[in-house]
């Protein structure tokens, strides 16, 4: 179970900070959030 939790956390981090999203014009959710609070 611990291994699955680590892999899930790793995937979520990748999904939100590395993977560009077409619906966000190629930005990551983290980049959109940073721009919002800047």
Q: What is the pLDDT of residues 1-38, one digit of tens each?
A: 899 999 999 999 999 999 999 999 999 999 999 999 99
pLDDT at residue 6, as a whole number: 97
pLDDT at residue 28, as a whole number: 98
pLDDT at residue 14, as a whole number: 98
Provide the domain limits for residue 11.
Answer: 2-37
pLDDT at residue 1, as a whole number: 81
Give the total number of structural domains in the chain.
Answer: 1
pLDDT at residue 31, as a whole number: 98
- The C-alpha angle 22, 26, 31, rounded to 5 degrees, equals 120
Sequence-ordered list of residues with C-beta below 8 angstroms from that of 15, at least 6 positions apart, any chain = 29
């Amino acid at each position: 179970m611990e291994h699955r939790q680590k892999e899930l956390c790793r995937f979520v981090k990748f999904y939100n900070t590395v993977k560009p999203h077409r619906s966000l014009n190629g930005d990551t959710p983290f980049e959109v959030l940073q721009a919002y609070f800047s």
